[in-house]
Structure 1
């Protein structure tokens, strides 16, 4: 293909308008021409009104229910921190190392099975897969309140990790198949803010439930697991019905969505095509997609950034009640004081998601928010004053929670191809969760009340991996964008057909990365 002088502008969807060949000249996939436009006769203002209404319809159907599922899953995996200060460790006669082992084993099964669940989500119907794993983890959750020793708790936590593995990466991937790159961040942020809400809700709930101590011969911490497990089971049963209403079972083929009219289905496909997303097409799995992800440097920089955020997240969520308790507050008081930092984190997470979508500068958002986290854990590490330490938990939450959905959105924005994106997200999220093993073992009982080694490790993760990794990825993406705008990658499409160019995904020379 003959190389023409590239233009330096970008289209509305963030792609280059390079004219290296007819396909790149128009900046629109050829396949869009074959898809009927239901709004062809309408003016620009009317098109925008219909588009806003379509987005609102998608948001109402997808976001609230999926966010509820994640709230429940995060509550179920982290409520062991609330149970600990209610007497779990003493009643089961566990050593400090054994308690940390029960945290660690969750992340082992959770991380190992995440890549497999990405395949299962596509092989089976989402409307069946997601509610089914909920039923299974609700059983695991409930049995945690019935155990009598360390071995029983270890087994329950292993299966909890196994059964929860499919939700978070699967839902993020699923949402990325419905929204344009400039729209995904705020949706991912709202979805993930359920984790921060789970922290707030978990503290309030635990403070109320532990008053059931002695009911049925069970201690208060056991009722935390039992009641929350049974609540999950109820939601899981309702989810079989909700999933049929809210989900399209053909993930990358939105034309099967039952809750959309035929015209709305076409609009969804067209707007994704105009955003040059191949998720609007049907792909069959090939081993080549796995290798494409493994050979892509963005997979590894994404893993670095995400491990900085995720390890910090689990350290914070698993041990916040314990950290607050060691400031001198009693059990119920500590449970209640864990609520405000999460509430602030919820608001900031949604705000950052909105800003990142509008500016399309996800790397800068990560970099800026990491400073809050670094400052917060520096306060926890450097001060013995309970007031200063408590203030540090607010900054720590603000520096961690927004970076989780922002990093996932950043990864999803810059990886094209249905399977490649799913695989890359699986690697990034799986590696981040594997670092939960570190999170489970850095806050040791022998280090209380200040927990200096734990705070120091989280501080290092924030500074080196979250901040440093975000800077590195931003610089590399910016350099690659310059090369593409200058036409230095146009030789990648020489001699290729329009269909072959389309299948290149993010390797297309006119695909401009989100910074």
Structure 2
């Protein structure tokens, strides 16, 4: 037998061996080969390196995002005993003040679904850095406002410039983390959010002592926070990594692994920015509408009180305006504690994010009932702490589940943008529900919020059934994007606490 003949026989034998394998066996063989290639990579150590580069700086910047958002209410109560608060200096009525708060959120909500696409059209570092620098400039300039119209214009411009920051962060992370990996990280992002409330009150308390006849405390507050925001934006251009494939601090094999370990429909740098088919599939998924309803109802019910928190606390009659700033720390601390506990329960104890969210909503319902019926100011303040602390935690628990039900680069950008835009109802409707003339008891406000929060409890039950119940009717299962791509291997991975949805799509 000649050498050429022997070689040809070997090729034929290999071809027969391959042809004799089923598609699932070929997929298993390929997956095994891939695992061998990445055997040298320690996944946990790699994730810690990614966290060091991305998570820490983003959490710091997001804390200042929320601090800047909270400062308008701080400015509205600072130094009110000497008639130097922002609300008093500009002679604003309760109705005008409600519109000052809301003016930020209208352009913000419009910008979010559109501007999230600019993360990929430019780059994460450029887009997020631009948001911070432009926003910081306007923030500092707010110290010069002298009338109601100027203040509303500045607030609206802030909303337009800041729109999409949070959604851009979540979208950026979906290029690096699986939904399972994102879960504890989003909770830490909301820890930063909750921490900002306490720091905001403490900082406003300190700045209130700079008040004088020449410059008011709220003016100093706007200038200082604006300058810090600009500095953080400049740092964003240099510090934040963009994509796995462009990060030189990762080896070529690590770059490939980061992309490979994501779902096959996870956002990718090389994918089209706009894909109409992905968008169509997203709108046919029933979870899109239930997530949207949850985001809307929770924004009005629990988050709405946060837009006027210093005024609600002040109307309890516990302390003066300076003390009111300090009393914002316990609600923030409650939020931090709830985020940490929720992260532990979901990640370490394997409890469903939906179950944790239901427990949070139940606590909020009880707290609203206490706020309505209790007479002692201290007890009502404790209820406010729970309600305010829960706002960030409930969203944080469900964000990874929301991302898990989005398939493709375009759908992720638009879906994340739309849902977070809906949450801006907290600032659009919240100040109207919690109008200052409803105080000091705010009974009407609490009743409205209680109704919306009750609806949320039902909505979360439905989402839990749609996304985690394995025996949905066939026609429905095909439409729920988080269900259609789950294989037996994915279910085993989910039991180990890993991501799900790495198999071929079932159609």
Matches within 5 A, 1:103-502: 103-214=101-212, 217-243=214-240, 247-248=241-242, 250=243, 254-273=244-263, 276-279=264-267, 282-284=270-272, 285-328=274-317, 329-358=319-348, 359=350, 361-465=352-456, 467-479=457-469, 481-483=470-472, 488=474
Offset at residue 483 of structure 1 (A): 3.9
Structure 2 CA distance for aligned equivalents of residues 401 and 99 of structure 1? 24
Structure 2 CA distance for aligned equivalents of residues 185 and 287 of structure 1? 28
Offset at residue 33 of structure 1 (A): 7.6
Structure 2 CA distance for aligned equivalents of residues 313 and 23 of structure 1? 50
Q: 1:289 to 1:34 in 2, by over 3 A?
A: farther
CA contact (8 A) 1:443 1:451 kept: yes
Q: 1:96 to 1:59 in 2, by over 3 A?
A: same
CA contact (8 A) 2:107 2:156 kept: yes
CA contact (8 A) 1:313 1:401 kept: no
Between structure 1 and structure 2, the one with the greater Rg is 2
CA contact (8 A) 1:352 1:365 kept: yes
CA contact (8 A) 1:213 1:220 kept: yes
Offset at residue 369 of structure 1 (A): 0.8
Structure 1 CA distance for aligned equivalents of residues 292 and 101 of structure 2? 22
Aligned pair partner of 1:64 in 48, 56, 61: 56
Structure 2 CA distance for aligned equivalents of residues 476 and 509 of structure 1? 13
SS in 2 for 1:278: coil
Structure 1 CA distance for aligned equivalents of residues 352 and 303 of structure 2? 26
SS in 2 for 1:145: helix
Structure 1 CA distance for aligned equivalents of residues 290 and 448 of structure 2? 20
Matched, 1:55 2:47: yes
Structure 2 CA distance for aligned equivalents of residues 135 and 367 of structure 1? 38
TM-score by length of structure 2 reads 0.84
Offset at residue 403 of structure 1 (A): 0.5
Aligned length: 461
Structure 1 CA distance for aligned equivalents of residues 113 and 379 of structure 2? 41
SS in 2 for 1:179: coil
Aligned pair partner of 2:485 in 498, 502, 508: 508
* Match in the other structure for 2:65: 73
Q: 1:489 to 1:177 in 2, by over 3 A?
A: farther
Structure 1 CA distance for aligned equivalents of residues 258 and 73 of structure 2? 42
SS in 1 for 2:432: coil
Offset at residue 507 of structure 1 (A): 3.7
Structure 1 CA distance for aligned equivalents of residues 231 and 450 of structure 2? 39
SS in 2 for 1:375: helix
CA contact (8 A) 1:118 1:169 kept: yes
Structure 1 CA distance for aligned equivalents of residues 71 and 345 of structure 2? 31
Gapped regions of structure 1 (runs ≥ 5): 1-20, 494-503
CA contact (8 A) 2:53 2:239 kept: no
Structure 2 CA distance for aligned equivalents of residues 26 and 102 of structure 1? 61
Q: 1:491 to 1:100 in 2, by over 3 A?
A: closer
Q: 1:386 to 1:289 in 2, by over 3 A?
A: same
Offset at residue 384 of structure 1 (A): 2.5
CA contact (8 A) 1:278 1:505 kept: no
Q: 1:377 to 1:483 in 2, by over 3 A?
A: closer
Q: Deviations over 1:327-369 (max 9, x none)?
A: 1110111110110121121121132123223426111111111
TM-score by length of structure 1 reads 0.83
- Measured on the aligned residues, the alpha-carbon RMSD in Å equals 2.7
Structure 1 CA distance for aligned equivalents of residues 458 and 482 of structure 2? 27
Q: 1:264 to 1:442 in 2, by over 3 A?
A: same
Offset at residue 263 of structure 1 (A): 2.3
Offset at residue 277 of structure 1 (A): 4.9
CA contact (8 A) 1:188 1:405 kept: yes
Offset at residue 378 of structure 1 (A): 1.7
Offset at residue 235 of structure 1 (A): 1.4
Gapped regions of structure 2 (runs ≥ 5): 1-20, 79-84, 495-499, 501-507
* Match in the other structure for 1:39: 38
